[in-house]
Structure 1
Amino acid sequence: MTSLLVRLQLTTWRRDPRLLGLLTAMALLLTLASSWATADDVAGRTAQQQGATSARAEWLERGADHPHRRAHYGDFVFRPAGSLARLDRGVQAQLGKVLRIEAHRQGTPLFSDASQAGTVARFARPDAAFLLQLVVPLLLIFLGATGLAADRDAGRLKLALIQGASARTVARGHFLALWGLGLSLLALVVAASLGTSTALDGFTTLAWERLAGFMLVHALFLAIVSAAVVAAALWARSARSALLVLLAIWVVATAVLPRAMGSTANTLYPLPSQDAFQAAMQASREAGPDGHNPEDEAIEQRKQEVLDEYGVTSVKDLPIDFGGIAMQMDEDFGNEVWDTHHGELQAQFERQGELMTLAALVNPFQAIDHISMAITGTDLAHDLDFQAQAERYRRGLVHALNHEHAYGGPKERGASWEATPDFFAGLDAFEYAPPRWGAAIQHRTKELWSLVVWTFLALLAIRRGAARLERSQRPC
C-alpha cells in the first residue's frame, strides 16, 4: 500500500504541468549550479597550484642572497580550496587566499574572491549546498502543503480512509514521496559535480569520504524537512494554514534566527577591526627588542652576554654575526606578542562559535550549514588551521634564515656576504596538510546529534498527527 501511494503521488506531480515545470526548473538550476561551482573550484585549484609554483620559482631564481634580505623578501603561501568547496563554498569567499610570509610580521590573508569583485558580486553565490539547504526545502514545503493537506480539504483523504487505507500509511507514503524527491535532487547535484570533475580533472582533487559524509548529512536533513512538512499538513486545519505556517518557519529558520544570533554573538563577544588589531600588536611589539636598533637596551644586554660567552670585547672579534642573533631576539618577542593577541582573538571566535552552536541545536537549518562547511573543509576552523600552519612555517623559515645570518659563512664576513643558492634551495616550500575529515567533523558532534533528535521528533509528530487524523476522519 505504501509503495502504491508513493507512485500515486509521483504520478500526480508528473501529470500536473505546473508542478512538472517547477521540478524541471529546479533540476536544471541544481545541475547548472553544481557544474558551475565545480568548474570554478577546479580553475581555482589550478590557479593556486600555478601561484605556488611561481612563488617557489621566484624564491629559487634569486640565487645567492644575504639571509636577512631574503627574510624581508619573504615568500607567499596559498590557501587551497576546501576539499569539497565545489559543493559548499562556506566562508571561503569572504576570506583571503594568499599569505605573505616575511620577518617581523605575521601574514594577513590577501585576495579574497569578494575583495576582487564588484558590489553585486559580493553577495553569496548560490552553490549546491545553498540550494539544497534553502531552496529545495522551499520546494518540498510547497509540494507537501498542496499534497496531503489539499487531499484532506478536497475529501480525497477521507475517501482513502473509508476504502481501508490507514492514516499512518497515507502519511508514510507522502513522507517517502517527498523525501525521495529530495534525495533525487541531492543525487543530481552530486552527479553533476562528478560529471564536471571527470571532464576537467578526472577526480584528482575529490575527497570521496567527505563526499559520502556530505550526502549522508544532507539526506538526514531532507528527511527532517520532509517529515516536518507532512506533520504540518496533518496537524494544520487547511492546506493554506499549513503552507503559511511552514513558510513562516522557513523564513525564521533561514533568515531571522541566523542573523539575530550573529548580531547577538557580535554584541556579546565583539571582535576588533583589522586596523585596531594590528595597532594593538604594533604597540605591544614596540615595548620589546628592536633587532634593527643597535642601541636597544635589550639588544645591548644580549650583546654583552654573547661577548662574555666568547671571551671577546668587540663584536668585530666574534666568530659569528651578532646581527642574526639580534634579529632572532626581535622575532621571538614578536612571536610572543602574536601568540597573546591572536590567542585572545581566537578565544573570541570560539565564544561566538559556542553561541552559534547552541542556536543550531534548535534550528536544523543552521545545524546543517555548520556540518556541511565542516565536512567540505570550508568553515572558519579550516581557515584558522591553515593560518596556524602558515605561521609555523613562517617561524621556521625566519629562524633558519637568522641562524644562517648568525652562524653561516666565513669568519671575515661583511655586509656584502651572501648565502649560497643551495642553502635557499634546501629550505622546504610550504605545504598545507588539511585536517582529516573525522577530526574536522568532531567539533560538530552536537549539531549532528541535534539532527538525529529532530528526525525523531518530526517522525513522532507524523505518527501522532496520523492517529489524530484517523480519529477525526473515521466515519460515523
Structure 2
Amino acid sequence: MLSQIARKECLEMFRDGRFRWAGALIGGLLVVSLASGYTARSAANAERSSAQAEMQSRWYKQPARNPHSAAHYGLWAFKPMPAFALADRGIDPYVGTASWLEAHKQNDFRFRPAMDATAVQRFGDWTAAAVLQQLIPLLIIVLGFSMFAGEREQGTLRQLASLGVPARTLVAGKSFGVTAALSLILVPAAILGALALLVSAGADASDLPRFVALVGVYLAWFGIVLAVTIGVSLAARTAQRALLILLGLWTVNSMVAPRMAASIARSVHPTSSRVEFIAAVDAGLANGIDGHAPAGARREALEKELLVRYNVSSVDSLPQNFDALAMQAGEEHADEVFDHNFNQMYDQFRKQGVVQQVASIAAPLIAVRFLSMAIAGTDLESHRAFANAAEQHRRLIQREMNGWLAQNTAAGKTFSTLADSTLWAKIPAFSYETMGVSSAIRLYVIGALVLLLWLMVSFAWIATRRNLRVA
C-alpha cells in the first residue's frame, strides 16, 4: 500500500503542469547558477593565481636595495576561491580578495566584487545556494500545500480513510511520492555539481567530505520544509488556507527573520565604525594598548635593556645594529596592537553569529546559511583564517628584513646598506590551505544542532498524527 500511494503521488505530480513548469524553471536556474559559479570561480582563481605568481616573481627579481625599502615594497596576498564557492560564494564578495603586505601596517582587504556589482546584482546574488535555500522550498510548498487539504476539500480523503488506510501509511506514502518527484530535479543537479567539482582546478579528495556534508545539510533543510508543508496541509481546513500559511512562513523565514536576526545581533554585540577602529589602532600604535607606552619610552627602555645585556656604554658598541633592533621591536609592538584590535573585531562578529544561530530556532534557514558557507569555506571564519595566514607572512618578511639589517649593517648605515636576491630568496612563496570541514562545522555547532532539532521535531509532529481529519 505504501509503495502504491507513493507511486500514485509521484505520477500525479509529474502529470501536473505546475510541477513540470516550476520544476523546469527552478531546475534550469539551478543548472545555470552552477555553471555561472563554475565559470566565475575558474576565472577568478586563474586571475588571482597569475597575479600571485607575478607578485612573487617581482619580489624575487627586485634589484639590490635596502631591506627596509624592500619591506615597504611588499607584495600582495590574493585569496583563492575554494572549490565549493561555485555553489555558495558566502561573504567573499563583500570582504575583499587581496591584502597588501608591507612594513608597519596590517592593511584592509581590497577589491570587493560587490563594489563592482551591477544594479540588478545588488538585489541579490543568485547562486546555487540561493536556489537551494529559497526556490526549492518554494517548489515543495507549491507542490505539497494541497496534499491533504486539497483532497479533504474534494472528498477523496474521506474515501481513502473509509478504505482503512492508516494515517501514517498515507502520510509516509505521499511524502515519498513528493520526494521522488523532487529527486528528478535534485539528483541531476547534484551530479552536475559533483562533475563541476571534479573538473575544477584545485579540487581534490579532501573536498569529498565537504560535498557529503553539504548534501546532508540541504537534505535536512528540504526534509524540514517537506515535513512542515505536510503538517500544515494536514491541519488546514482548505488548500487556500494551507497555501497562505506556508507562503507566510516562507516569506518570514527567507526574507524577514534573517534581517531581523542580523539587526538584533548587531545591537547586542555592536562593532566599532571604521573611523573608530582606525582611531583605536592609531592610539595603540602611538601609546600602547593601555595608553601608557609611548614610542619614545619604548625605545629608551629597549636601549637600556640592550646596554645592560651586552655590558656596553653606547648603542654604537652593540654587536647588532640598534636601529634595526628598534624597528623590529616596533613591528612586534604593532603586531600586538593589530592582534588586539582585529581579534576584538572578529570576536564581536563571532558573537553576532552565535546570536543569529540561536535565532535559527525560529527560522532554520539561518542555520542552513551559516552551515552552507562554513562547508563551502566562504564564511567569516574562513576569511579570518586567510587574513591571519597573510598577516603571518607579512610578519615573516619584516623579521627577515630587520634581522638582516641587524646582523649586516653598521651604526649610521641602517638605511644605506643594500641587500641582493640572496635575501629575497629567503622569503618563501605565499600559500594558503583552507580549513578542514570538521574545523569549519565545529564553529557552527549551534546551527547544526538547531537544524537537527527542527528535523526531528517536524517529522515527529506529523508522525504522531494517528487520525486524519477528513472534513
TM over 0.5: yes
Q: Report the AA paired with residue 6 of structure 1.
A: A
Query: Is residue 323–residue 414 contact of structure 2 (8 Å, CA) maintained in 1?
Result: no
Is 1:456 paired with 2:462?
no
- Structure 2 residue aligned with 1:60: 60
Q: 3-state SS of the aligned residue for 1:80? A: coil
- Structure 2 residue aligned with 1:299: 299
Distance 2:368 2:452 in 1: 11
Query: Is residue 33–residue 126 contact of structure 2 (8 Å, CA) maintained in 1?
Result: yes
Query: Is residue 151–residue 157 contact of structure 1 (8 Å, CA) maintained in 2?
Result: yes
Distance 2:412 2:345 in 1: 46
Residue 197 (structure 1) shift:
4.6
Distance 1:349 1:38 in 2: 29
- Structure 1 residue aligned with 2:176: 176
- Structure 2 residue aligned with 1:391: 391
Residue 300 (structure 1) shift:
4.0
- Structure 2 residue aligned with 1:468: 467
Choose 434-443 or 412-421, whichever is displaced more: 412-421
Distance 2:133 2:4 in 1: 29
Give the 3 Å change call, closer, same or farther, for CA 304–460 of structure 1 in structure 2. closer
Q: Report the AA paired with residue 440 of structure 1.
A: A
Residue 312 (structure 1) shift:
5.2
Give % identity: 29
Deviations 1:385-420 (A, max 9, x none): 111222222222211111111113578956432112
- Structure 2 residue aligned with 1:49: 49
Residue 432 (structure 1) shift:
1.3
Residue 255 (structure 1) shift:
1.6
- Structure 2 residue aligned with 1:24: 24
Give the 3 Å change call, closer, same or farther, for CA 105–62 of structure 1 in structure 2. same
Count of aligned pairs: 466
Give the 3 Å change call, closer, same or farther, for CA 86–33 of structure 1 in structure 2. same
Q: 3-state SS of the aligned residue for 2:84? A: coil
Deviations 1:203-228 (A, max 9, x none): 55981210111011111111111111
Choose 189-198 or 375-384, whichever is displaced more: 189-198
- Structure 1 residue aligned with 2:2: 2
Residue 319 (structure 1) shift:
4.6
- Structure 1 residue aligned with 2:277: 277
Q: 3-state SS of the aligned residue for 1:85? A: helix
- Structure 1 residue aligned with 2:95: 95
Q: Report the AA paired with residue 153 of structure 2.
A: D
Give the 3 Å change call, closer, same or farther, for CA 211–28 of structure 1 in structure 2. same
Give the 3 Å change call, closer, same or farther, for CA 412–109 of structure 1 in structure 2. closer
Distance 2:411 2:330 in 1: 23
Distance 1:144 1:288 in 2: 62
Deviations 1:97-126 (A, max 9, x none): 101111111121111111233444334311
Residue 167 (structure 1) shift:
2.5
Residue 37 (structure 1) shift:
0.9
Q: Report the AA paired with residue 363 of structure 2.
A: N
Q: 3-state SS of the aligned residue for 1:90? A: coil
Give the 3 Å change call, closer, same or farther, for CA 202–427 of structure 1 in structure 2. closer
Residue 38 (structure 1) shift:
1.6
Residue 287 (structure 1) shift:
1.7
- Structure 2 residue aligned with 1:327: 327
- Structure 1 residue aligned with 2:11: 11
Residue 239 (structure 1) shift:
0.7
Is 1:77 paired with 2:77?
yes
Give the 3 Å change call, closer, same or farther, for CA 41–419 of structure 1 in structure 2. same
Give the 3 Å change call, closer, same or farther, for CA 453–317 of structure 1 in structure 2. closer
Give the 3 Å change call, closer, same or farther, for CA 175–308 of structure 1 in structure 2. same
Give the 3 Å change call, closer, same or farther, for CA 388–198 of structure 1 in structure 2. closer
> Superposed, which structure 2 residues align to 1:116-265 within 5 Å?
116-197=116-197, 201=201, 203=203, 207-265=207-265
Query: Is residue 361–residue 446 contact of structure 1 (8 Å, CA) maintained in 2?
Result: no
Distance 2:347 2:430 in 1: 26
Residue 316 (structure 1) shift:
4.7
Q: 3-state SS of the aligned residue for 2:99? A: strand
- Structure 2 residue aligned with 1:292: none
Residue 314 (structure 1) shift:
5.1
Residue 201 (structure 1) shift:
4.3
Distance 1:152 1:130 in 2: 34
- Structure 2 residue aligned with 1:40: 40
Moved over 4 A (4+): 197-206, 307-319, 409-414
Residue 288 (structure 1) shift:
5.0
Residue 365 (structure 1) shift:
1.0
Give the 3 Å change call, closer, same or farther, for CA 154–446 of structure 1 in structure 2. same
Give the 3 Å change call, closer, same or farther, for CA 412–287 of structure 1 in structure 2. closer
Is there any run of 5+ residues in structure 2 with no aligned partner, and where? 290-294
Q: 3-state SS of the aligned residue for 1:77? A: strand
Q: Report the AA paired with residue 372 of structure 1.
A: S
Give the 3 Å change call, closer, same or farther, for CA 11–45 of structure 1 in structure 2. same
Q: 3-state SS of the aligned residue for 2:106? A: coil
Q: Report the AA paired with residue 212 of structure 1.
A: V
Distance 1:349 1:199 in 2: 35
Query: Is residue 182–residue 222 contact of structure 1 (8 Å, CA) maintained in 2?
Result: no
> Superposed, which structure 2 residues align to 1:421-460 within 5 Å?
421-460=421-460
Q: 3-state SS of the aligned residue for 1:361? A: coil
Query: Is residue 95–residue 109 contact of structure 2 (8 Å, CA) maintained in 1?
Result: yes
TM-score, normalised with respect to structure 1? 0.91
- Structure 2 residue aligned with 1:350: 350
Q: 3-state SS of the aligned residue for 1:256? A: helix
Is there any run of 5+ residues in structure 1 with no aligned partner, and where? 290-294
Query: Is residue 82–residue 377 contact of structure 2 (8 Å, CA) maintained in 1?
Result: yes
Q: Report the AA paired with residue 390 of structure 1.
A: A
Is 1:401 paired with 2:412?
no
Distance 2:32 2:3 in 1: 32
Give the 3 Å change call, closer, same or farther, for CA 429–84 of structure 1 in structure 2. same
Query: Is residue 99–residue 110 contact of structure 1 (8 Å, CA) maintained in 2?
Result: yes
Deviations 1:6-58 (A, max 9, x none): 22122112222343122111211111111111221122222221121111011
Give the 3 Å change call, closer, same or farther, for CA 99–123 of structure 1 in structure 2. farther
Give the 3 Å change call, closer, same or farther, for CA 273–188 of structure 1 in structure 2. farther
